[in-house]
Structure formats: structure tokens, C-alpha cells
Chain A
């Protein structure tokens, strides 16, 4: 049994989860423990130690407005550990000894390294795609790990509505989210087919169920609510520019009441400020079965030539025909170059809409954003955000105009941008390392 957040371990059968959240706003553990003990007698208390948690329930997610609470501080006896959260996820800790520690996160928000104030690396971690750790070095400094969420003593990740077990890649409880009316299959409590459902060894379609994590797409999707997969938080808005704390639990926290200096704040003419993702299409972007023909669908019975004619006609059911054709093309069911031409997706947006989306891409991607070894640290942070915004716009076109299945052209463009992103990440890691030129310039003007 873990020592973190025990009140979520045993759900109160007659209360909605929101009520429990509200009760936990200023959580005094002894008080909750009494209720908890009464309702969960089969559970044992942990090691006799009591921890109080101060929560911020104002956090929001992309798909789940409100309710993504985070822990601001943990009190155990006289020892208080405090946590600072930015829009990007966990940002810093102040341990019981008053020492600041800084987690460094990857694109999913997973904590990959923790550094101290002198930027010495205290620990480093690796994760497999579903979040099980391996190859960790150093002494563990924080419970925050995979996707930037807390892992308790049992190795399970606390995702608010449910615990997720990364070692087996599934949740340990049924999804409390009932489903979406417009997606009938999501209402089925036992099968969830909107993820990528590969065929198993004997060719049977594997249906997802409500225990699966992040649509079984854990390298692209996160699930901070435990109820619905969404893209990593840092893709959602002008991330990194506004990291002042809305609630200031401790005046000693360096971010309290402060915002980044002007050169790091969101440029006034930057069109991406406050940009939010378009509504998530029904089909997550790189999910093969979203546009593939599931056996038995009407299009599955049409020949390549019939589909090609429908696609080229540009009317009626041409969108579905084009997608089916592209899917077959990419699956090599039809030759890549042949009677239907190369595997080039046909946009299903009308030209006005596509041009509008392309203009947004051009705006987002026209701002210089390359990093090299001389790029100053603050600029690297800005470039990372600019690249993210460029990627957001590119994915928006793929999602909206290509139903999530990009052709090679769009994929290669995205890969290029991701390589530029990785380059900036690498340079940031390199230049902020101990003894490196930027070691003392990490977030200049903020560190005190």
C-alpha cells in the first residue's frame, strides 16, 4: 500500500468523486483518515505515518476543463515538501530541508532528470512506452514520474479518477467516464474501439476496454484525468510563458507573484498566445484503424478502381473513398505508384478552410526557431514553444483535413519539426548542465 493520496484508494461508494475532491481542498489527513478508516476498514493505514496534502483544484486540462487537481504541499510531522506546477506540469520541488530541486521533463511531461540549484543532476530516469521505469540513475528525488504524475509506493501512477499500473500498461479500475453519445461504441462498458486496435496473432480485432490506458497509444496520448486520453498538456497553449502561481502556498516560493521577465513573456503580437487545440476529432491522429476499412464496411467491398473514381469525383462519399484508398495505398494493398498515382492524401477540407489552416501554419512556422550550440538559454525555451505551436498547427491540418492520416509529405514535415524540437531539447539539456555556459542562467531573472 502506498503512502500517497490514500483517500483515492478507497472510493466512498455513495459519493461522487467531485465531492471527495472538494473535501480534499485543504486536506487535513487525520480528519479524512477517520472517514477513510470508517469506510475502508479492509485497508490498513500505512506505516503509521500521516501525511497532509494541500491541493489546488483549479487546474484544467485540454479535454477536461477543471478538476485536474495537483498537490501543492505535503506535510509529514514538521517536514513540509512543496511542489510548484507550471502549465507544462511539475516544475520544482522544495524539500523538507529547504532545498530546491528542478525536474526536467520530456514531451509527454515525464520527469527524466532532477537537478538541484547548481544544476547538478541528482537522478535520471528512463521509461518504456507504457511508463515502466528502467535504467534509473541516482537516488529518487520525487514521486513525480511518468507523464509528470505522482507514482505511489506500489509503483502505480495516480491519475486522479483511477490508478494506472505502468508495469502492465492498464488501469486498475474501470473507467468511470460513461462515454460519448455521438460515439456509440464508447458507451459500451466493455469495448472501446476508438483506439488503435491491431489484429492479434490470429487476425481477430482486439477491442479496447475501459481498462486500457491512453487508447493504447501512450507515446502520444496522456490521461491526466484517468477518464479520457488527451494530448500532452504542453501542446495546449502558450506554454512556458506564464508560470506564475495562481495560489501561493508559501511566500518563499520563487514564482509567487512573479511572471517571467518581458523578454520571456508571450510576445504581444504572437498569434499563438492563448491558442487552444481545435476540438479533438473522433479519430486520434496516427491511429491506423480510424481510417482503415474495418472488415465488413461498405467501402471494403469496392475495388480500387471504383474507389479511385469516387475519390476523384469530389462529391458524395468521396471523403471516405479517398481515405479508404489512401489506407489501402499505405498498406500496400494497391501499389504506391500505379493506376491511382502516388500515395498522396487528398484533403477533405474545402479550399477556403484548407487555405485558412495553412495560413495559420505559415504564421506559426515562419518565426525563426532553430537552436544551435550558441543559442542562449532563454531563446531555447522560446524556440521550444514556437516549435510546439508550429506542430500544433501542422497536426490541426492533418486532423481536420486528412482525418488524422497524413500522407508522407505531411508526415515528413512533422518529423522535420520534431527533429528541430529534439535539437533544442538536446541543446537545453547540454547547456544547462553543471559547469556549462548556461548553468546559472536557467530561467534567468527567476532563480534567486
Chain B
């Protein structure tokens, strides 16, 4: 991936999410035991340090829909610029942007996985959706020699979903 493409996507993200509303101090994480609430409280997505993002790379599913919306650009930027350092973050971001599979829903029949996913993504504006799609479409170019097969499968499903939303 050329630096130019990376910078273009980052610019789209920054512009699209520039007016996204902070979720509120008490509305960041569903789970009070994970430390996210304390670490993210009062911080703009642009102010999250890479260390903080790495520390909470597994906590994306615990974010409230509003916090997911607000902090998503920080996670996407970390994947764009620090792919080698952020461990499982790319997979976690990708699954956060991908509708649950039938297999997942069959396996957890008591859970409203699709409902939760839709609640997470329903608040995005058109500009934000375009930026997310640009991020996803650039992802496979990011470090093409490193992308794992499992990630590509996720990526295909995510792109299919966001393209259908965009249209």
C-alpha cells in the first residue's frame, strides 16, 4: 500500500468523523470490569494513544454503540498505520464491521447478535460509511504479503455489507 493511499484513507476518516459526538463519560463501555470506561473517559478519538488502543484491542465488542461509533476512527487509523504492532486489533475491527454469520447466530441462539450489530452501525452518517468502506477496500493493500486468509474472508463479507449499505 502506498503511503499516498494510506494518507488518503486517513484523511477521509478524519473528515468524516470530525463531528462525531462524544458518547458521554458514563456511556463508553457495557462492562464496568474491563477498564475501558476509565481509560477512554473524556478522551477524543484523536487523543487515544497507540498503547491505549493496543491495551484495549479486544474490548471493541464491549463498547456501547455510541462509543463504538466515536472511537472507530482511532481503531481504523491504528490498523492503517501500525498493522504490525496492533496484534488482534485488525480482526476485532473487521468483525465489528461485519454482520454476524448464520453460524454464529445458530450457535448462540439466545443472543441477538444481528440486533447488536445493527445497533452499533445504525448511527453512521453517509460520509462515515464512505470512509469505512474506503478503509475496508484499502485493507487488503495494506500489507498484502501479510494478510491472513481468515482476515480476507472477513474482509470480503464486510465490504459486501458496507457496499450494499452505501448503495
Contact A426 B150, beta carbon cutoff 8 Å: yes
Decide if A306 is an interface residue (CB 8 Å cutoff): no
> How far is B42's CA from A179's CA once the two chains are assembled, in angstroms?
54
Residues of chain B contacted by A406 (CB below 8 angstroms) = 108, 111
| Surface stretch bound by A, among B12-20, B27-35, B124-132 | B27-35
Residues of chain A contacted by B115 (CB below 8 angstroms): 336, 408
Q: Give min CB distance, A424 to chain B, whole Å.
A: 8
The answer on a CB contact under 8 Å between A412 and B61 is: yes
A343 near B149 (CB under 8 angstroms)?
no
A68 on the B face (CB < 8 A): no
B59: A residues at CB distance < 8 A: 413
**Contact between chains at A416 and B61 (CB < 8 Å):** yes
B151 sits at the interface (CB 8 A): yes
Q: How many residues of B contact A (CB 8 A)?
A: 37
Binary flags per residue of A416-430, CB closer than 8 Å to B gives 1, else 0: 110110111011001
B33 touches A416 (CB 8 A): no
Q: Are A419 and B55 in contact (CB under 8 A)?
A: no
CB contacts (< 8 Å) of B150 on chain A: these are 419-420, 422-424, 426-427
* Contact of B146 with A409 in the complex, beta carbons under 8 Å: no
**Which one, A77-85, A91-99, A249-257, A364-372, is touching chain B?**
A364-372
Main secondary structure of the interface of B (DSSP, over half): loop
- Decide if B61 touches A336 in the complex (CB within 8 Å): no
**Cα A419 to Cα B154 with chains together (Å):** 9
Specify which chain B residues have a CB less than 8 angstroms from the CB of A427 in the assembled complex: 148-150
B102 → chain A closest CB, angstroms: 13
Name the residue of chain B whose CB is nearest to the CB of A337: B119
Pick the contact of A373: B34, B90, B92, B146 (CB < 8 A).
B146
Closest Cβ–Cβ distance, residue B105 to chain A (whole Å): 10
Q: Which A residues have a C-beta under 8 Å from some C-beta of B? A: 219, 286, 288, 327, 330-332, 336, 343-344, 347, 351, 354-355, 358, 362, 365-366, 368-374, 405-413, 415-417, 419-420, 422-424, 426-427, 430
New A-B pairs, 16, CB < 8 Å, besides A369-B87, A409-B30: A332-B112, A344-B30, A354-B33, A368-B88, A370-B87, A370-B90, A372-B146, A372-B151, A373-B145, A408-B112, A411-B108, A411-B111, A412-B113, A413-B58, A416-B91, A419-B91
